[in-house]
Amino acid sequence: MSNGLSRRRFAAGAATIAGLPMVGIVSARGDTPEFEYKLGNDNPMTHPNTVRQGEAIARIFAESKGRLKISHFPNNQLGGDTDMLSQLRSGALEFFSLSGLILSTFVPIASIYGIGYSLPTYKEVWAAMDGDLGALIRRGIDKSGLHAFDKIWDNGFRQITSSTHPIRNPDDLKGFKIRVPVSPLWTSMFEAFGASPASINFSEVYSALQTKIVEGQENPLVNIDTAKLFEVQKYCSMTRHMWDGFFMLGNGRAWRALPPDLQAIVARNFDASAMDQRADYVKANDALRVGLEGKGMVFNDVEPEAFRQTLIKAGFYTKWKEKYGPEAWAVLEQYAGKVG
């Protein structure tokens, strides 16, 4: 390779990047990468996160001339989200893409963008997350000892699926056994709907649905498709009850151990891939309703206002405004308008 990176070293590094088992990489000249890090996620191999993260990792290896090799462990290969969050905090894992609502078990402010029926479209979502609300959350994440990259990745607007019945109005959620990710806000929202939420990591969702431990779950269409949940779910109700995203996170010590030039290469490439992934998500979610109907799912639309009114009556917004505090709530309302 003309740029000082031996062909053998690049090939070996690239092979490892592809998620093959990590082996000690020694190039023909005997030099090894200065830094060997790992990146984990809970997304299947075909998911836009995994595809775009893989591209960023390969660019980082090439632009750093092999000095920084990041091995990719998608699809819960290192354990569920709560396991990977512990690994990230301890330094056993250096990079991890995680929903702010799951991160909120450690950084409470990280879930504020997921308040039900707050940010209604991508216009408000990106204005908020690339604006003052994202900056507020990233400050909270940095204070916790983790590093958050500037551009949050898209996890889309979430819809409710079920194996028993469609969700047409809030009454259909009464007693509904629904899986939610491990997060106080998700549990609180579905308790406010009168449902029976069960906190389960995404790594266990397919089997929990298949064995009927729960009747349903909620996710954007991309995740329903890439995790093949259409095989164990019949109905999809377009509740669009919240937007979610994946923060790209770094272990603080591992991040600070990188010299400034490598930090710049990592940040530039992760953020560039986040923008590519956002475009992928919109395209995929727009096309997937037809695709999932073709795989046997039955769709229905709902009147969102009835669901929002249920949250108001249950005191959901009052409770969470108190938890986040008026200053943070005001930043949310800067983009969402009056919430609750």
Residues lying near ligand X2X in the complex (CB under 6 A): 42, 99, 102, 155, 181, 202, 219, 223, 244
* Contact indicator for 233, 165 with CB cutoff of 8 Å: no
Q: For the CB of residue 171, give the shortest distance to ligand X2X in the complex, in Å.
A: 24
Q: For the CB of residue 80, give the shortest distance to ligand X2X in the complex, in Å.
A: 9
Pick the closer one to ligand X2X by CB: 219 or 277.
219
Pick the closer one to ligand X2X by CB: 161 or 310.
161
Strand pairing partners for 245?
154
3-state secondary structure of 170: helix
Pick the closer one to ligand X2X by CB: 63 or 218.
218
Q: For the CB of residue 15, give the shortest distance to ligand X2X in the complex, in Å.
A: 28
Pick the closer one to ligand X2X by CB: 227 or 328.
227
* Contact indicator for 158, 240 with CB cutoff of 8 Å: yes
Classify the C-alpha dihedral 84-141-45-226 as positive or negative. positive
Q: For the CB of residue 244, give the shortest distance to ligand X2X in the complex, in Å.
A: 6
Q: How many CA atoms lie within 13 A of 273 on its CB side?
A: 23
Q: For the CB of residue 13, give the shortest distance to ligand X2X in the complex, in Å.
A: 28
Pick the closer one to ligand X2X by CB: 170 or 220.
220
Give whole-number Cα distances, 288 to 156, 211, 225, 258, 297, in Å. 12, 25, 8, 40, 11
How far is the C-alpha of 233 from the C-alpha of 177, rounded, in Å?
Answer: 13
Quote the crossing angle between the two packed helices 326-336 and 132-143, to the nearest 10°. Answer: 140
Give whole-number Cα distances, 294 to 7, 31, 287, in Å. 45, 52, 11
Q: For the CB of residue 235, give the shortest distance to ligand X2X in the complex, in Å.
A: 17
Pick the closer one to ligand X2X by CB: 161 or 223.
223
Nearest to 147 by CA among 222, 97, 220, 197: 97
Strand pairing partners for 95?
39, 250
Q: For the CB of residue 219, give the shortest distance to ligand X2X in the complex, in Å.
A: 5
Give whole-number Cα distances, 133 to 68, 168, 291, in Å. 31, 32, 34
Q: For the CB of residue 173, give the shortest distance to ligand X2X in the complex, in Å.
A: 17
Quote the crossing angle between the two packed helices 48-63 and 260-294, to the nearest 10°. Answer: 160
Pick the closer one to ligand X2X by CB: 9 or 52.
52
Pick the closer one to ligand X2X by CB: 155 or 161.
155
Q: For the CB of residue 114, give the shortest distance to ligand X2X in the complex, in Å.
A: 9
Strand pairing partners for 299?
236
- Token pair of 191 as six digits: 């308790």
Pick the closer one to ligand X2X by CB: 96 or 324.
96
